Amino acid sequence: MEFVNEAVVSDRLAALPGDEPRVAVSGNFATPHELLRILEATLPRVRAFSLNIQEGWPRRDGFVTETPFVGPGVRGDPAMEYLPMRLSLVPRLFGTSRPPHAVLLHTSTPRDGKVSLGVEVNIMPAAIEQVVARGGLVVAQVNPRMPFTGGDALVDVDHVDLALEVDAPLPSPRPWSPDALCAAVGERVAGYAVDGGTVQLGIGQIPDAAAGALTTRRGLGVWSEMVSDGLLGLDRSGALDPHRPISVSFLFGSPELYEWADDNPRLVMRRTEVINDPARIAAQPSMLSVNTALQVDLFDQANASYVRSRIYSGFGGQPDFVTGALHSAGGHAVVALRSWHEGSDTSTIVPRLVEPATSFQHSVIVTEHGAAEVFGRSSGDQARLLIGCAADPRARDALMDAVGPFGR
């Protein structure tokens, strides 16, 4: 690892091969914005590969974004290319159809010959390995404020070619407080957790509310693609088993969460191929997977990706965790959502999806009105349970009218 200035980084990026080199970039709230600024200013044409991109991402002709999970920073960008893939399979792209020429990382300062990827591991280890194997360029934005986390977050300094030192606070998502409706959904979701079980909590107010309702449980383990501030409450309440590692792939939370993560020996950061592997998820005891959706239809298909036929997010880890939880002994794959979308004044339980499905065949669908335990039911019973237990009362008559022969 050689510490350099911006000019050196720019010169090395300008020397990347091809007319449109591909560069893998740390995503979520670990985006190395200074390196990204240099990349955007240096290369007239480039393909940038990243996950859940936040605000501040370049948008211009020639700057093509490739992503399997669309974040707010590129939502609606005509130069964005969405790759519909289960997250567990995304790292394979780096060794096959989408090999990167360079990697831009956001890391801690070096310690004992290593830097840490800190709050964002995800697909980056696979990208680093492929670039190093092909003699490409690895550049780190080294930040003393990045938490030093272990596991797959650790990168040998010999694998990093250039380092640009940038002392800057890490960004965080806007804080939110679950409302009474979310709290009611969270309470119902928590009822499917058992002492000694394992939890996965996705992004959003409802998963956070579920975490808040799990504080009375004991001996819980965490095996989750991401964690947010709800984890702090579980830890402080004594709900977590102190002898089980907290296994996650990225952190999505406040400065307080980042401070908790720094040098925390119980936190083990794992790469996507491990944390999202359905077989490893299934091996967790009583795995409770909690995800949300935009719509669920009477065939128990969930859309968590598309709005009005335009990509909003993507598969992410939802299908991986739904599959894994269903195969876990005592596990549950829960989809939790509000029964009514106030913005469009429509039911989120619909007769049949018109958008592509993100996941299907869940254990239970939970709303503020109740829990439809659909696993193992006939198609007719499944539809009736969704209508009677999960749908908003305003939508129930129309949904019953829409039930076809399968529901009778």
Cα–Cα distance between 321 and 133 in angstroms, integer?
Answer: 31
The secondary element (H helix, E strand) that includes residue 222 is: strand 221-227
Is 225 designated active site? yes
Cα–Cα distance between 194 and 214 in angstroms, integer?
Answer: 9
The secondary element (H helix, E strand) that includes residue 41 is: helix 33-42
Pick the catalytic residue from 34, 66, 120, 225: 225
- Phi, psi (rounded to 5 degrees) for 128: -60, -45
Instruction: Say if residues 121 and 152 touch (Cβ distance below 8 Å).
Output: yes
Alpha helices in 335-392 (DSSP H): 379-385
Which residues share a beta bridge with 301? 360
Torsion angle of alpha carbons 259, 261, 262, 267, nearest 10°? 170
Distances (CA, A) of 249 to 27, 227, 366: 12, 8, 26
Instruction: Say if residues 107 and 118 touch (Cβ distance below 8 Å).
Output: yes
Residues 6+ apart with CB under 8 A from 403: 298, 351, 380, 383, 384, 387
CA 267 to chain CA mean position, Å: 17
Instruction: Say if residues 105 and 126 touch (Cβ distance below 8 Å).
Output: no
The helix/strand/coil state of 64 is: strand
Could you list the active site residues? 225
